A and B are shown apart, each in its own frame.
Chain A
Amino acid sequence: MEKWRAASNLRRSLKSIINRRFSPVSDFTYFNEKSSFQTSFSPVGGYKSIGEMNAIQYRYFSSVSTLVQRNPSFSTLNSDDISYFKRILGEKNVIQDEDRLEAVNTDWMLKYKGSSKLLLQPRSTEEVSQILKYCNSRCLAVVPQGGNTGLVGGSVPVFDEVIVNVGSMNNIISFDKVGGILVCEAGCILENLISFLDNQGFIMPLDLGAKGSCQIGGNVSTNAGGLRLIRYGSLHGNVLGLEAVLANGDVLDMLGTLRKDNTGYDLKHLFLGSEGSLGIVTKVSLLTPPKLSSVNIAFLACKDYSSCQKLLMEAKRKLGEILSAFEFLDNQAVDLVLHHLDGVRNPLPASMHNFYVLIETTGSDESYDREKLEAFLLSSMDGGLISDGVIAQDINQASSFWRIREGVPEALQKAGAVYKYDLSLPVEKMYNLVDDMRVRLGNLAKVVGYGHLGDGNLHLNISAPQYDDAILERIEPYVYEWTSKHRGSISAEHGLGLMKANKIYYSKSPETVKIMASIKRLLDPKGILNPYKVLPHSLNS
């Protein structure tokens, strides 16, 4: 109740600042043409010059609701700025080419598109520092970008912010084989790090479907979860240190490689999950687990959700220390994958079951683990928890099971428009939301539920042939209110980005959010780093 009231207060205050029509669905829109809107609103704090600057933007596919306004205190780029950047980065790393800008201005889901005119590709921390120092002095807004695989519009500009892409900083600096400590630059692609560690006999503590494109800097800035969290824990436990550049160009060297260091406040945790709004992460130091030889994976079918839950409890108890992943998918999710992706076949073709569970175990003794897994699965089958299942006999079969689970986001993209929600909920209640949404949406859209059951994380996805306001209205804010009511998180691992910037009150109290805003003002007084995202707009002065 408290949070709901806070959210309504927030909307009312937004209304008074922006002074335009208000719609019950809180969402963002921006459009590109100049229009009579410019005459109707009262500027906040005066403009410098509008020129061809776009004051308001509409979102690509969706409807008009609350509008984001370009912060007038940010400057616009001029030719002096471009020359300066060319001087410090070299001609090649200052990109103004329209085609290349098109790609970096648009997010992976093709849902958010900015209109940045400049992409910078620094190759070292020093260059990042010089860029930010200059942008801070000129009051130029900046969007830090890595692999651009984020799902909440946090990695692309909203207006004409300068994009600083750290992809060229992709060196592995060192690897300590005894401790398994990897130090690398933020632009390293996750899959490349996985291959490198594979040769050394180690693995990355996180793994996600986007590994072919996502970069470790982005993973760290989003505090990415992924498929192995149930075994190796979150990045808060695995990141031993990082180096970040603050908005004023100061380089914060917190790149420790120590497991234990209780000297003062541990600032690196602030940056983990700050989504680039407190500083640009340039180097990361990670603890990597050793690669264990025996990996087994089973793909199982359950007849209802309560069986899935009981299976999870049994798995944690019977498989114990060897359990390394526990994912679930519902019937609709598997159906979509089989339909839209090539080269994927159903491991349980006999019939379509209601729920599918993927269990992976990782241990050091092949025969021991195999026996343990088989015993657990057979007893679960006898107990009626599983209606059918297969165990992978070789690595190829194992990859094909993972392809089904990791391929769901891709299949959803291909199926048309998708509304994505990433929620943390109590495990017993989790699927009730999916059922509720199915009732609410009826024939309008297809509701798909899957996710990291082991971590209590549901990925609720609503697939429709195209984006439609009628559908959006039925989803939001119902989903957030439902989550809030169960004291869940409206963003388990994806972050807030632009999509949920004003929704934080559903999961955090106003007092905590006020402190967050103070910290933001302390580290980035001009608010140039990734503006309009993460924290509610009313808190920015």
Chain B
Amino acid sequence: MKIMVAVKRVVDYAVKIRVKPDKTGVETQNVKMSMNPFCEIALEEALRIKEAGLAKEVVAVSMGPANCVDTLRTGLAMGADRGIHVEAARELVPLTVAKVLKRLVEVENPGLLILGKQAIDDDCNQTGQMIAGLLGWPQGTFASKVVLDKEKQVATVDREVDGGLETLCLDLPAVITTDLRLNQPRYATLPNIMKAKSKPIKKYTPEELNVEIKSDLEVVQVTEPPKRKAGVILSSVDELIDKLKTEACVI
């Protein structure tokens, strides 16, 4: 069985982000970029499944400008066998990503598609669900545990939901999106980094895949959240009541 993992290049999780002065987005020049943490977890899970003997190959996919290849190289250094880079000049919205993935799935025929639950730059949490809908595949999102059964061709997924944990049994092929507690991703060791240099990365363009890059969404403005106002120390209960009435308007 082949596993396909989608990975995204985002601003590093530990960087203090700044909004661009023209308010069109977040400052990304000269800022450290890395693989989305949830995508790392997804890739780690795929690698563990392969190491358990339940899959033959792990393919990493990334979409965007030329520097996405760096992220793919990281994925290959972690242990993925092949990489696919879909070249696109602009930021892609989840629906477009899902459509591209659908076409790639038709080409590659994986038995399992694993993605991170959301990207830390847009926090959309939509791609996994959309691709499952487009393919008509079952989906196990927010996975905190995945167990595969090869003979029965099912995946048992524990999902983290608001009320606790929900366990689903999905027929393969299926889509799984990973949550934080699923696993701890491995480091990229030097021997693997060396091997990664010779692993193939295939390039596609959206035209080749017959997908139109269009977005139904337009970013109007990006602003920082309002700064927290300092607390005020009051001198008496009367003043408190007065403030609750006039300023907070709660009584």
B13 touches A394 (CB 8 A): yes
B190 touches A389 (CB 8 A): yes
B30 touches A293 (CB 8 A): yes
Instruction: Name A293's closest neighbour in chain B (CB-CB).
Output: B30
B13 touches A393 (CB 8 A): no
Cα distance, A224 to B194, chains bound together (Å): 39
B16 touches A374 (CB 8 A): no
Cα distance, A370 to B184, chains bound together (Å): 24
Cα distance, A345 to B191, chains bound together (Å): 20
Would you call A363 an interface residue if the criterion is a C-beta within 8 Å of the partner chain's C-beta atoms? no
Cα distance, A381 to B195, chains bound together (Å): 13
Instruction: Name A347's closest neighbour in chain B (CB-CB).
Output: B187
Would you call B74 an interface residue if the criterion is a C-beta within 8 Å of the partner chain's C-beta atoms? yes
Would you call B217 an interface residue if the criterion is a C-beta within 8 Å of the partner chain's C-beta atoms? no
Q: Which residues of B contact A389 (CB under 8 A)?
A: 189-190
Q: Which residues of A contact B37 (CB under 8 A)?
A: 394, 396
Would you call A498 an interface residue if the criterion is a C-beta within 8 Å of the partner chain's C-beta atoms? no
Would you call A25 an interface residue if the criterion is a C-beta within 8 Å of the partner chain's C-beta atoms? no
Secondary structure of the A contact surface, majority rule: mixed
Q: Knowing A377-B190, A388-B189, A390-B190 are in contact, say whether A345-B184 is a contact too (CB < 8 A).
A: yes
Instruction: Name A387's closest neighbour in chain B (CB-CB).
Output: B190
Cα distance, A445 to B114, chains bound together (Å): 51
Instruction: Name B36's closest neighbour in chain A (CB-CB).
Output: A394
Q: Which residues of B contact A345 (CB under 8 A)?
A: 184
Contact flags A291-319 to B (C-beta < 8 A → 1, else 0): 00111001110000000000000000000
Contact flags B175-196 to A (C-beta < 8 A → 1, else 0): 0000000001001111101100
Would you call A198 an interface residue if the criterion is a C-beta within 8 Å of the partner chain's C-beta atoms? yes
Would you call A391 an interface residue if the criterion is a C-beta within 8 Å of the partner chain's C-beta atoms? yes
Q: Knowing A293-B31, A394-B34 are in contact, say whether A399-B14 is a contact too (CB < 8 A).
A: yes
B15 touches A395 (CB 8 A): yes
Q: Write the nearest CB–CB distance from B74 to chain A, whole angstroms.
A: 5
B193 touches A374 (CB 8 A): yes
B35, B77, B184, B190 — most chain A CB neighbours (10 Å)? B190
CB contact list, B38-82 vs A, under 8 A: 40, 70, 74, 77
Q: Knowing A198-B16, A345-B184, A367-B70 are in contact, say whether A395-B190 is a contact too (CB < 8 A).
A: no
Number of A-B contacts (CB under 8 A): 63
Contact flags A195-239 to B (C-beta < 8 A → 1, else 0): 000110000000000000000000000000000000000000000
Q: Knowing A347-B187, A374-B193, A381-B190 are in contact, say whether A394-B12 is a contact too (CB < 8 A).
A: yes
Cα distance, A362 to B32, chains bound together (Å): 12
B188 touches A391 (CB 8 A): yes
A386 touches B35 (CB 8 A): no
Q: Knowing A378-B194, A395-B34 are in contact, say whether A390-B188 is a contact too (CB < 8 A).
A: yes
Q: Which residues of B contact A390 (CB under 8 A)?
A: 187-190
Q: Write the nearest CB–CB distance from B70 to chain A, whole angstroms.
A: 7
Cα distance, A295 to B16, chains bound together (Å): 15
Cα distance, A298 to B194, chains bound together (Å): 14
Contact flags A336-360 to B (C-beta < 8 A → 1, else 0): 0000000001011000000000000
A295, A348, A397 — most chain B CB neighbours (10 Å)? A397
Q: Which residues of A contact B190 (CB under 8 A)?
A: 298, 300, 377-378, 381, 386, 388-391
Q: Write the nearest CB–CB distance from B60 to chain A, whole angstroms.
A: 13
Cα distance, A389 to B191, chains bound together (Å): 8
Q: Knowing A378-B194, A396-B14 are in contact, say whether A293-B187 is a contact too (CB < 8 A).
A: no
Would you call A392 an interface residue if the criterion is a C-beta within 8 Å of the partner chain's C-beta atoms? yes
Cα distance, A199 to B70, chains bound together (Å): 27
Q: Write the nearest CB–CB distance from B215 to chain A, whole angstroms.
A: 28
Q: Which residues of A contact B74 (CB under 8 A)?
A: 393
Instruction: Name A350's closest neighbour in chain B (CB-CB).
Output: B189
Q: Which residues of B contact A300 (CB under 8 A)?
A: 190
CB contact list, A361-378 vs B, under 8 A: 366-367, 374, 377-378
Cα distance, A136 to B31, chains bound together (Å): 53
Instruction: Name A195's closest neighbour in chain B (CB-CB).
Output: B16
- Contacts from A to B (Cβ < 8 Å): 198-199, 293-295, 298-300, 345, 347-348, 366-367, 374, 377-378, 381, 386, 388-397, 399
For the complex of A and B, the 7 pairs showing the least CB-CB separation, nearest first, are A395-B14, A394-B34, A390-B187, A389-B190, A293-B30, A395-B12, A347-B187
Additional 16 contacts, C-beta under 8 A, given A345-B184, A388-B189, A395-B13: A293-B32, A294-B32, A299-B187, A348-B189, A366-B32, A377-B190, A378-B190, A381-B194, A386-B190, A388-B191, A389-B190, A391-B188, A391-B193, A393-B77, A394-B14, A395-B15
7 A-B pairs whose Cβ atoms sit less than 8 Å apart in the complex: A198-B16, A345-B184, A347-B187, A394-B34, A394-B37, A395-B12, A395-B15
- Contacts from B to A (Cβ < 8 Å): 12-16, 30-32, 34-35, 37, 40, 70, 74, 77, 184, 187-191, 193-194
